Chains A and B, each alone.
Chain A
Amino acid sequence: MPRLRDLLVQAMVLGLVAWGLAALWTTAKARMAAQGIPFSFAFLSQEAGFSLSEGITFAPGEGFRPYQPSDTYLQALLAGFLNTLKVTLLGLLGATLLGLLLALGRLSANPLARGLSFAYVEAVRNTPLLLQLFVWYFAILLKLPPWERGIAFAGAFLSQRGLLLPELALAPGAWGLVLAGVWAWAFRRRGLLARVGSLALFLASWALLGPPFSVRPAVPGPFGPLGGIFLSPEYAALLIGVTLYTSAFVAEVVRGAILAVPKGQWEAAYALGLSYPDTFRLVVLPQAVRIAVPPLANQYLNLAKNTSLGVAVGYPDLFSVYSTVANQSGRSLEAILLVMAVYLSLSLSISALVNGYNRRVALRWKL
């Protein structure tokens, strides 16, 4: 039975908060009505009229197609959201891989690798992301030569107008890869059968169907790209910026997790006769992953939120589309509430995913 005093305190707190919110709400409503633009989300279906440098949106009846100025505000915001996702997903992948590499570098026995990774991690973590984005965009990508005199480098074509990268496309041989993966998973408890079988499947598919991937080279035409993947300088700057920034934090998390595995675990594994790679893979890594997952989730959330800095380099992500919409429609309050709700659900879904994974790897114990 809750005490009366507890109930009173709770009622008072709730009442105070409700009163504060209501006061803010009535002021805002009155001021918006006085300006002749009452609070409403109806503007979302009006024609946007501005163009975005890149972006795909959904149109009923047409499916997904490039965004056009004649689309509605809602479709513009959707294009921004898809652009945000494009940076977030690739950034997560890149930051994780690079972060792992850097963590191994910091733990390496080679003093040069150790020193370089240390310098990189400290320099990246102790300067603002905004500064790094400006460096990538204004000081590096926009200083590349113009399109006519672009630099061909390792199959890519670099110029002021953007980066043209060779495209990796799936070929029919990819089915062999899928089949080999399924085989390895199905027989994962029987090491030799899984390894030999999947290798044989992979080689057989290569012989029959050809290689799993085909590379389409970057083809710079006289006026624009003719082949390959084209990244605008804005997209490239934001992607490189957030990936490198997050990778430094990921490296610290992974390094901390590996160091947090007790030394006795290494020693015990060596005493049992396991080799260094086996000890790392079978004993240390599974325990390190358990420690690393919650802080990694935080870094992934930060990456998703940091993509909103695309507004600083002119990349049409959700936030910069919001600022155009707010400017043009005058509906800043409605639009920012919508945008904050979208970021909030993006954050919550990333943390739900990671929490689900965490439940699978975490030790179950009770006091």
Chain B
Amino acid sequence: MRLFRALFGSPGNALVSLVLLSFLFLLGRSLVLWALGAEWRVVGDNLRYFFVGQLPPGMTWRAYGLLGAGLLVVWGWLGLLRAARLPRPGLAVGVGLVLFLLFLPLPLTLWGGLLLSLLLSLSAMALAFPLGVALALGRQSRLPAVRLLSVAYIEVVRGVPLVSLLFLAFVTLPLFLPEGVRLPQVVRALLAFTLFAAAYLAENVRGGLQAIPRGQWEAALSLGLTPFQTLRFVVLPQALRAVVPALVGQYIALFKDTSLVALIGILDLMGVARAVLANPQNVGLEREVYLFLGLVYLAVSGVFSYLGRRVEAALGLGKR
């Protein structure tokens, strides 16, 4: 009854509700009619390809092992932050890291699908982290030259499209390397993503640094801590804690952005979809494949934002 009143309480409201309901009905009907007649075999047949790419079946278990080890590390880390209940979180992180390194030596050229998207975005974020923090500190430095260089780097990278950085890494990088040095495609893409993510990360971390009152510095320095110790034990922990939500958002954006590598021929989740659609058997099945892809991206983003919320709650953000 309350729902009915909320929907049809006043004439204007009832009109809005009716328009939206008929829109929803038409959309739902055409979707259901289409889904019943759609050829879902294209998704079912290529499921393995979508998730792990061209890894030979004999090696697939290692890909899943890698993913499992990664999850163990994340779980242990959540335990360390007291976001998840775990008796020995430190042990879980250690075991997870060892397993991760054991499973890692898969042939680089065979990585693909969702596995590659996840690995690419996670490693780019991990590599960009120290660089981003350094740039953020550089931007706050009292030395004008350091400040100028950091600002220039951050603004230039944030001012150009990611695609142009990717193409720079792909087409023009060989020119900058000495004769005979060749980097695999995935490494070049990783380089572009790392340099890109560092600039955005620096801006997020700067927000956290600016939120730390000056008194914290002064108090720590007057207690006899060196500037480095002040940074390491007083300022950075507080600053980084404040920017966790922004970092989770940035990671999800980066994960979505890895789809751009499909444009330069790398077989990540999006690249695999394009390869599947290029198969003459699957001509004209774009809708099925793209709908499936959209659901996968939604699910992964959803998992990460859930994890982010858990970490936020554990850190007591907005409560302390």
Contacts and interface: CB of A to CB of B under 8 A. Distances in A.
Is chain B found bound to chain A in the same assembly? yes
B24 A312 contact: no
A149 to B, nearest CB: 17
Q: Which of B155, B175, B287, B301 has the most CB of A within 10 A?
A: B175
B298 A127 contact: yes
Contact of A131 (B161, B167, B174, B293): B293
Interface in A281-324: 301, 305-306, 308-309, 311-312, 319, 322-323
A32 to B, nearest CB: 6
Interface in B220-252: 252
B16 interface: yes
Interface string A120-158: 001100111111001100110001000000000000000
Given A24-B176, A112-B20, A139-B287, A347 B159 contact: yes
B164 interface: yes
Interface residues of B, number: 52
Q: Which of A28, A131, A301, A312 has the most CB of B within 10 A?
A: A131
Contacts of A110: 6-7, 13, 16-17, 20
Contacts of B90: none
Contacts of B286: 134-135, 138-139, 143
Given A135-B290, A139-B287, A344-B160, A336 B146 contact: no
B249 to A, nearest CB: 10
A323 B146 contact: no
Interface string B288-314: 001001100110011000000000000
B164 A319 contact: yes
A319 B263 CA distance: 13
B32 interface: no
A362 interface: no
Contacts of A236: none
A1 interface: no
A6 B277 CA distance: 59
B252 A126 contact: yes
B159 A344 contact: yes
A224 interface: no
Q: Which of B6, B163, B177, B298 has the most CB of A within 10 A?
A: B163
Interface string A210-225: 0000000000000000
Given A10-B146, A112-B17, A139-B287, A28 B176 contact: yes
Nearest to A32: B175
A319 B174 CA distance: 20
A322 B6 CA distance: 54
A326 interface: yes
A168 B174 CA distance: 51
Given A113-B20, A126-B302, A311 B263 contact: yes
Q: Which of B160, B161, B162, B177 has the most CB of A within 10 A?
A: B161
Contacts of B279: none
Interface in B270-291: 270, 277, 286-287, 290
B257 interface: yes
B146 A126 contact: no
Contacts of B290: 131, 134-135, 138-139
A14 B159 CA distance: 23
Interface in B149-171: 149, 155-156, 158-164, 167-168, 171
A333 B256 contact: no
Contact of B163 (A116, A131, A309, A347): A309
A358 B168 CA distance: 34
Classify the interface of chain B: helix, strand, loop or mixed.
helix
Contacts of A113: 16-17, 20
A131 B270 contact: yes
Nearest to A308: B161
Interface residues of A, number: 52
A139 B145 CA distance: 51
Contacts, number: 145
B56 interface: no
B24 to A, nearest CB: 7
Nearest to B259: A128
Contacts of B44: none
B21 interface: yes
A232 interface: no
Contacts of A322: 164
Interface string B80-109: 000000000000000000000000000000
B260 A130 contact: yes
A308 B259 contact: no
Given A24-B176, A27-B176, A308-B163, A111 B145 contact: no
A348 interface: yes
A336 B172 contact: yes
B274 to A, nearest CB: 8
A90 interface: no
A277 to B, nearest CB: 12
Contacts of A32: 175
Interface string B249-269: 000100011011011000000
B163 A128 contact: no
Q: Which of A11, A13, A134, A323 has the most CB of B within 10 A?
A: A134
Contact of A348 (B7, B159, B163, B176): B159
B316 interface: no
A42 interface: no
Contacts of B145: 10-11, 13-14
A9 interface: yes
A311 B17 contact: no
B179 interface: yes
A267 B284 CA distance: 57
Given A13-B149, A131-B259, A340 B160 contact: yes
Interface of B: 3, 6-7, 13, 16-17, 20-21, 24, 142-146, 149, 155-156, 158-164, 167-168, 171-172, 174-179, 252, 256-257, 259-260, 262-263, 270, 277, 286-287, 290, 293-294, 297-298, 301-302
Given A126-B298, A333-B172, A344-B159, 7 more contacts: A9-B143, A10-B146, A11-B145, A14-B149, A126-B252, A138-B286, A344-B160
8 contacts: A112-B21, A112-B24, A126-B298, A128-B270, A311-B163, A332-B172, A339-B164, A343-B164
